[in-house]
Structure 1
């Protein structure tokens, strides 16, 4: 005997329930991945599993949309006289489909041009800013204790005998409904408005800050999104004297905004103690202090900067020392095969092959758009590898080592690809 197929109403209820749980966990995992306060906590081997869970749930959300489509026509017919429900359904479908499509682009980022990823990230963020508060509001205002009808007092007219016939009055047999005067706002409305106001106060400042810059990270309003570096904040004196092309900001300056992503405590630097070293399998190992490092010959280039999370900053004017020049000056031993980079935070490392390291645009940079690089963005010195995603461009660079075997970098240990080429 075959099982009876669930009814239309039960199917809708099941899809709604599963969608609710999936969206809830998507919101939590998305927050964990993007919230700077918890990025450090996830910096170990937890980050990649959380990311994979987020992707799997996004795919399952798409499956639920697919399962709902055959029911959609009947559902719309059922609620055709209910404009609020139709509006809610339309908004939720836009959210889910928008999240799904933009999420696919971000998930398969290497198969799309950077412009696509940049747009997808903005759409994904915008839908999150609009969708998560709405879903919280929608969910809380529909829990059982808010949906109970208002209690109304019932007053029964007292039985009074007719003074003439001594018979019970008709009023004695009639129950007249009685209620207190209706207030201008009931409990449910008050709670809904209060919740809406609380969400607005909590979220609006961050949302408008994001909207102003079309990004969701910690950024500044300076050109290119770089914070200005004052002598006090920099701690690295003297400031580099920029070359003429860097002063003129070739290309007109950076287009876009940097997001600040850090998974380790921001290191501090002082020119009195800072040093830069190149050693390992080289003929002439060397160490420079800050003033000696600034005396090295520098060049200027214009290149794009792409983050594997989806955002890009275009037409950056970088000034620094070509990595190939540093390697040539050091002299490489015959068994040197890879170039290992060390970050001043004492944690972050990565590698390039010799062929990659000798590309013309790979640079050890000290200036961005004619200004010192702020610590929040990897200064005072950082690696720039324009043709690869930015996790290869090691921040706070203070040491280069030539090695004979490949090294698994910080992000590669956590699931990122060693092959980090950008699809341009």
Structure 2
């Protein structure tokens, strides 16, 4: 081996190739992590390793950017007369740097204020909606088979085979070349336009839905984008009658938009069969039906709601039964150390320490902004733990057990921290 460094062109080619592979795998892993239809399939033991792969590749993408920076000046000089290449380079650099910076905030979410994470998630999504279709288009239209020159026999509908043969002979022996009609579109243009149209049709509906929800809009009239609980679909009757403060929505209405994540099929509830239970290490195990549960004394609070994936909804008005009041009513034995929560889907569980469970702002909520909580967002009753990330705020809550041992919750088994405090 000569030990010589690879030439400038070879360095650029290597960086381009490695960046292409990394962006491809980042795209696949990122879409799988965000795709609701495969979310349940991944939630077993696949999601966290997939997330780690996505993070590692993101870091490697940053390394490639650092390796490219010393070559950038020479590269720009080389393509200064090629505006299309300069435009492509600029757009790709914006994509890569934007993905990298927003990804770092989402990766180290606990080191940044929730507002930063919310903004980073919007930026990351926005760049993905524009960047992935562009990269697909850019890659496909530069494949070798797309660059082959056109080889067509041009013939009008009025030409007969004999006439075409005569004209071809005349042209062959004439000093004046025959001017053939130029087609208004060639194969490469047709394929490029078709690909662009297909990508637009595929991406546009989801993009506009994302745009509406991420900017605070929704497909319902309720703040936070929650679906309206209607009498036609609500099987949890009667509806809870909101307290005066909750009716007036003392927080001014939720700001942001809830994203629906679920690891199991959405359960169905009816007031005739629904019940709420407290048992375990308590003096008086208790069970309430829906009407009895609604008769319990409730309170109203305004708090922010933060998901560990990066999004937040601010100034939610929650109304419900304080968890501490439920524990006091059941009577907690001295041997109890932790509070275990059960979801109505029969799968999801989580825990808080007894000290945490007695914090003033933890409640079992039945109303959000003065309205019943839709099933898709954890209703009819869900736990609210404002100072912790939302995986502690168990949806469809219908059971509490006091225990004297540690319990590893659903997400904690899959790599999430048991310490879920939000950094503010």
Asked if structure 1 preserves the Cα contact closer than 8 Å seen for 2:216 and 2:257, the reply is no
Q: Summarize the Cα distance change of 1:177–1:418 in structure 2 as closer, same or farther, 3 Å threshold.
A: farther
Separation in 2, partners of 1:10, 1:152: 36
Cα distance, 1:176 vs. partner?
Answer: 7.5
Asked if structure 2 preserves the Cα contact closer than 8 Å seen for 1:282 and 1:402, the reply is yes
Equivalence map 1:184-263=2 (5 Å): 184-214=184-214, 220=220, 222-263=222-263
Partner of 1:82: 82
Separation in 1, partners of 2:194, 2:122: 29
Asked if structure 2 preserves the Cα contact closer than 8 Å seen for 1:218 and 1:260, the reply is no
1:239-289, CA deviations, whole angstroms, 9 ceiling, x for partnerless residues? 001100000101211011100011110000000000000000000100000
Separation in 2, partners of 1:409, 1:4: 56
Asked if structure 1 preserves the Cα contact closer than 8 Å seen for 2:218 and 2:225, the reply is no
Asked if structure 1 preserves the Cα contact closer than 8 Å seen for 2:320 and 2:367, the reply is yes
Separation in 1, partners of 2:335, 2:54: 43
Separation in 2, partners of 1:184, 1:2: 53
Cα distance, 1:149 vs. partner?
Answer: 1.7
Asked if structure 2 preserves the Cα contact closer than 8 Å seen for 1:157 and 1:175, the reply is no
Partner of 1:318: 318
Cα distance, 1:158 vs. partner?
Answer: 6.2
SS at 2:224's partner residue? helix
Separation in 1, partners of 2:126, 2:309: 15
Q: Summarize the Cα distance change of 1:93–1:377 in structure 2 as closer, same or farther, 3 Å threshold.
A: same
Q: Summarize the Cα distance change of 1:158–1:258 in structure 2 as closer, same or farther, 3 Å threshold.
A: closer
Asked if structure 1 preserves the Cα contact closer than 8 Å seen for 2:227 and 2:374, the reply is yes
Asked if structure 2 preserves the Cα contact closer than 8 Å seen for 1:218 and 1:259, the reply is no
Cα distance, 1:218 vs. partner?
Answer: 9.0
SS at 2:102's partner residue? helix
Calculate the aligned-residue CA RMSD, in Å: 2.1
Partner of 2:157: none
Q: Summarize the Cα distance change of 1:218–1:307 in structure 2 as closer, same or farther, 3 Å threshold.
A: farther
Equivalence map 1:119-198=2 (5 Å): 119-151=119-151, 180-198=180-198
Partner of 2:111: 111
Structure-1-length-normalised TM-score: 0.93
Cα distance, 1:207 vs. partner?
Answer: 0.8
Asked if structure 2 preserves the Cα contact closer than 8 Å seen for 1:224 and 1:256, the reply is yes
Separation in 1, partners of 2:176, 2:14: 42
Would you say how many aligned residue pairs link Structure 1 and Structure 2? 413
Q: Which moved more, 1:198-207 or 1:101-110?
A: 198-207
Partner of 1:165: none
Asked if structure 1 preserves the Cα contact closer than 8 Å seen for 2:225 and 2:258, the reply is yes
Where do 5+ consecutive residues of structure 2 fail to align? 155-164
Partner of 2:102: 102
Cα distance, 1:8 vs. partner?
Answer: 0.9
Cα distance, 1:410 vs. partner?
Answer: 0.2
Separation in 1, partners of 2:217, 2:52: 21
Equivalence map 1:22-41=2 (5 Å): 22-41=22-41
Q: Which moved more, 1:297-306 or 1:216-225?
A: 216-225
Separation in 2, partners of 1:343, 1:210: 28
Separation in 2, partners of 1:392, 1:229: 24
Q: Which moved more, 1:31-40 or 1:206-215?
A: 206-215
Separation in 1, partners of 2:32, 2:170: 67
Cα distance, 1:157 vs. partner?
Answer: 8.1
Partner of 1:360: 360
SS at 1:251's partner residue? coil
Partner of 1:297: 297
Asked if structure 1 preserves the Cα contact closer than 8 Å seen for 2:221 and 2:228, the reply is no
Partner of 2:329: 329
Equivalence map 1:409-424=2 (5 Å): 409-424=409-424
Separation in 1, partners of 2:151, 2:95: 36
SS at 1:249's partner residue? coil
> Which structure 1 residue ranges, 4+ long, deviate > 4 Å from structure 2?
152-160, 174-179, 215-221
Partner of 2:161: none
Q: Summarize the Cα distance change of 1:215–1:145 in structure 2 as closer, same or farther, 3 Å threshold.
A: farther
Asked if structure 2 preserves the Cα contact closer than 8 Å seen for 1:125 and 1:216, the reply is no
Asked if structure 2 preserves the Cα contact closer than 8 Å seen for 1:61 and 1:96, the reply is yes
SS at 1:401's partner residue? strand
Cα distance, 1:82 vs. partner?
Answer: 0.6
Q: Summarize the Cα distance change of 1:335–1:149 in structure 2 as closer, same or farther, 3 Å threshold.
A: same
Asked if structure 1 preserves the Cα contact closer than 8 Å seen for 2:382 and 2:395, the reply is yes
1:174-199, CA deviations, whole angstroms, 9 ceiling, x for partnerless residues? 99866732111111011101111111
Separation in 1, partners of 2:132, 2:216: 15
SS at 2:409's partner residue? coil
Separation in 2, partners of 1:218, 1:405: 42
Equivalence map 1:277-288=2 (5 Å): 277-288=277-288
Partner of 1:377: 377
- Asked whether 1:309 is paired with 2:309, we answer yes
Cα distance, 1:214 vs. partner?
Answer: 1.8
